[in-house]
């Protein structure tokens, strides 16, 4: 196995929750951490300066989308993704496997890789495990992901076994394609909802040796209870001296529960997408700003929140912006939602540091019940 870029600082005495530090080329990341999603080299609705002010440590961009537009060669020519988007903190790039899965009507997966048509103009393109690493190295991300084959839910055991084995073979090719750039490469554990296949996938990735290990193929329509069962069982099998990343998850409740089960890293479009749709996260639950009850409400979104939006604007004004379809609505709502998610992780880290995460978890749900 490779030497780990991750150092575990402490662990809860009551559960698998843990505090760590992940070292990258653009700085260290305190974990557990939530990564805002900046698919196309931008987190929708906010600037890099906004992200820094609200405390984001790392953001996520997407290989598939940047490969199609504007192209990795152009980004490299202009100084890499950090300079291109004016973000000097760490960046993780997803490999594009989930996008190929979600655009499966435009894609054909073979042993060699994924042949697909651009969702923009229908042009024929091909992404192999080697090409995905090449693209990510050109982008200059701090953390790269292996190309994988995402498995739908439900899927038969035979379908799952076949796709998981292919992801494993692609992982070998991805590792072999990596050059000595200092960028980290994470392997992705597939296996669907079959825990024995997940366990086999973990063993195969450990044999190859990666800088971190991700749980893929969850939050694809399965019940939350099943997602958490698979997360708990699989995270326990992963090398504990390396970072553990649960991809594409999720709600505040998902984050708390997955940290409880030993996960270190998360990403999800939920805070930004929901912000644009007028659904806001608060310490007492969700708030739908378009509701008529807020038409003359002078209070901030969340009276316990210290974000720019809550310091300066009322629910009444935010409802007005949303109903008038003003661009500022998305901007202010997104600042708040991301501040909530990033702040939640900061509270979780402090609770683990002080060995009171179990109490924090109880208080988290009690606050929602009373809201």
- Residues marked active site are found at 94, 267
22 φψ region: left (φ > 0), alpha (ψ -120 to 50), beta (else): beta
DSSP label at 3?
A: P
Q: With 0-12 CB in 10 A as exposed, 13-18 as middle and 19+ as buried, what is 322?
A: buried
- DSSP three-state, residue 16: coil
| H-helix segments, the chain | 48-54, 63-68, 72-77, 81-85, 97-102, 129-139, 157-177, 195-208, 224-237, 252-260, 270-276, 308-312, 315-323, 327-353, 357-370
- DSSP three-state, residue 60: strand
User: Which residues 6+ apart lie within 8 Å of 168 measured at CB?
Assistant: 201, 204, 205
Residue-wise DSSP of 129-165:
HHHHHHHHHHHT-SEEE-------SS--HHHHHHHHH
Rounded distance, CA 41 to CA 218, Å?
24
């Amino acid at each position: 196995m490779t030497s780990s870029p991750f150092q575990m600082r402490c662990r809860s005495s009551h559960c698998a929750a843990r505090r760590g530090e992940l070292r990258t080329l653009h700085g260290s990341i305190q974990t557990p951490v939530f990564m805002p999603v900046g698919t196309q080299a931008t987190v929708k609705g906010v600037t890099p300066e906004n992200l820094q002010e609200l405390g984001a440590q790392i953001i996520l961009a997407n290989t598939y989308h940047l490969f199609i537009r504007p192209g990795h060669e152009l980004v490299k020519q202009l100084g890499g993704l950090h300079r291109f988007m004016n973000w000097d903190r760490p960046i993780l790039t997803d490999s594009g496997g989930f996008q190929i899965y979600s655009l499966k009507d435009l894609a054909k997966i073979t042993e060699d890789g994924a042949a697909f048509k651009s969702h923009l103009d229908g042009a024929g393109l091909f992404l192999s495990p080697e090409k995905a690493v090449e693209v990510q190295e050109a982008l200059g991300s701090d953390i790269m992901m292996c190309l994988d084959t995402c498995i739908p839910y439900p899927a038969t055991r035979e379908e799952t076994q076949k796709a998981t084995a292919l992801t494993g073979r692609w992982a070998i090719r991805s590792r072999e394609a990596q050059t000595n750039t200092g960028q980290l490469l994470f392997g992705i554990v597939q296996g669907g909802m079959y825990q024995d296949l997940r366990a086999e996938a973990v063993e195969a990735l450990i044999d190859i040796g990666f800088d971190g290990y991700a749980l893929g193929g969850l939050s694809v329509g399965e019940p939350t209870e099943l997602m958490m069962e698979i997360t708990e069982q699989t995270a326990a099998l992963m090398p504990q001296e390396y970072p553990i990343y649960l991809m594409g998850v999720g709600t505040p409740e998902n984050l708390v529960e997955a940290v409880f089960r030993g996960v270190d890293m998360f990403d999800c479009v939920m805070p930004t997408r929901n912000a644009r749709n007028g659904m806001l996260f608060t310490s007492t639950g969700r708030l739908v700003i378009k509701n008529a009850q807020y038409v003359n409400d002078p209070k901030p979104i969340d009276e316990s929140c210290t974000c720019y939006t809550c310091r300066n604007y009322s629910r009444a004004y935010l409802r007005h912006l949303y109903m008038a379809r003003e661009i500022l609505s998305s901007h202010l709502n997104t600042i708040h939602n991301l501040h909530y998610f990033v702040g939640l992780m900061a509270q979780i880290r402090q609770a683990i540091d002080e060995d009171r995460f179990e109490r924090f978890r109880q208080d988290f749900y009690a606050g929602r019940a009373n809201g």
